[in-house]
Structure 1
């Protein structure tokens, strides 16, 4: 209960800190959700994406 009271007093008691907490939480959630979605997409499409197969099509004579 002491942890909940401390969090309440620190983050949610004042409207301004509550709003900032919500904004920071939304940005953090968006970043994690986006990176998680990208990781799942790459896992499902392993070997099919350009970055995985471009070495098959690059011209070795240009070096």
Structure 2
């Protein structure tokens, strides 16, 4: 995408510029949050309650 096209699509109007920044921020936040959660799960695998609860729960009827 040439710079002139990028300018005409995203940066020429203030409303489009602000909207593109807001959308980019939401997408970045979502991707960062999911990446951090995946890293935390990987580093703590076998230590979290959801991984070890089968050892401590009893199934009473």
TM-score bin, normalised by smaller chain: 0.7 to 0.9
Provide the secondary structure at the position in 2 that maps to 1:60: coil
For residue 12 of structure 1, report the CA deviation from its aligned partner: 1.2
Task: Output the TM-score relative to the length of structure 1.
Answer: 0.85
Task: Extract unaligned runs of 5+ from structure 1.
Answer: none
RMSD in angstroms over aligned alpha carbons? Answer: 1.1
Aligned to 2:41: 42
For residue 25 of structure 1, report the CA deviation from its aligned partner: 0.4
Which residues in structure 2 correspond to 1:25-36 (within 5 Å)?
A: 25-36=24-35
**CA shift digits 1:7-61 (9 cap, x unpaired):** 2211111110000000000011011111111110010000000111111111123
Distance in 2, Cα, partners of 1:29 & 1:50: 29
Distance in 2, Cα, partners of 1:11 & 1:57: 55
Which structure 1 residue ranges, 4+ long, deviate > 4 Å from structure 2?
none
**How many residue pairs are counted as aligned between the two chains?**
60
